[in-house]
Amino acid sequence: MTGMTECIWKEAILDTDFALKLEKAKQFNAIEEYIPRLVHKLFVHQYVYENEILVPKRTKEQINYLVNQGRAVIVDAQSLKIENPLAAKIYQQTITHLEKVAPETRYKGKNWGETVSIAYARATVIPFIISDESELQLLLDEEVNSDSETDLFVIRLRDFIIGMKDMGLKRKEAYIIWCAAHQGNKRIIEWVKREFKEELWPVDT
């Protein structure tokens, strides 16, 4: 990993789906190579770290590398209660609200990692969540955000790829990340390739 003095996003919390998508690029370690080039400080909720990124093994290994390098922090609700009781209250209130508006969410089950990550970000004013869930920004705008400086925004995979382009990083590796993230869906693979080459990162002519 090469250190960068400037990043596009100052702070962000990582959702499971995004970590697993980056891991699909087997030719290199995309998580440890590229997240710290675009995000200055990465947060990972303890529940996600301990329960949702167990396999493939190299996903957690890359997170551990970033933690050891001081570029990622594992966060949890218990320490929040001790260090900032008001933030801990906001954290729990956010979880309770999201459980009500998203009834498919289950405690330590479906959507739980995403829910606690959103709650932690809102409580501690982390402005971004790195996730490729297509409906997440809509959920945040309708149920969490209040058109204020503390609003939470989603960094999706296409934003990440455009960020790589803006930072002058490797186009070939960005293409590998983009295509690998969509592997397994042969019906859209041609669209995936075309979207990258024509929309996300066209070659200058």
Tell me the CA distances in angstroms from 88 to 80, 84, 85, 104, 175, one per residue in order. Answer: 6, 6, 5, 24, 40
Tell me, yes or no, if the pTM score tops 0.95: no
Predicted confidence at residue 1, as pLDDT, reads 42
Predicted confidence at residue 21, as pLDDT, reads 96
Q: How many CB atoms lie within 10 A of CB 163?
A: 19
Predicted confidence at residue 27, as pLDDT, reads 97
Predicted confidence at residue 94, as pLDDT, reads 97
Ranges of the chain whose pLDDT falls below 50: 1-4, 205
Predicted confidence at residue 205, as pLDDT, reads 44
Predicted confidence at residue 113, as pLDDT, reads 96
Tokens of 46: 């303890």
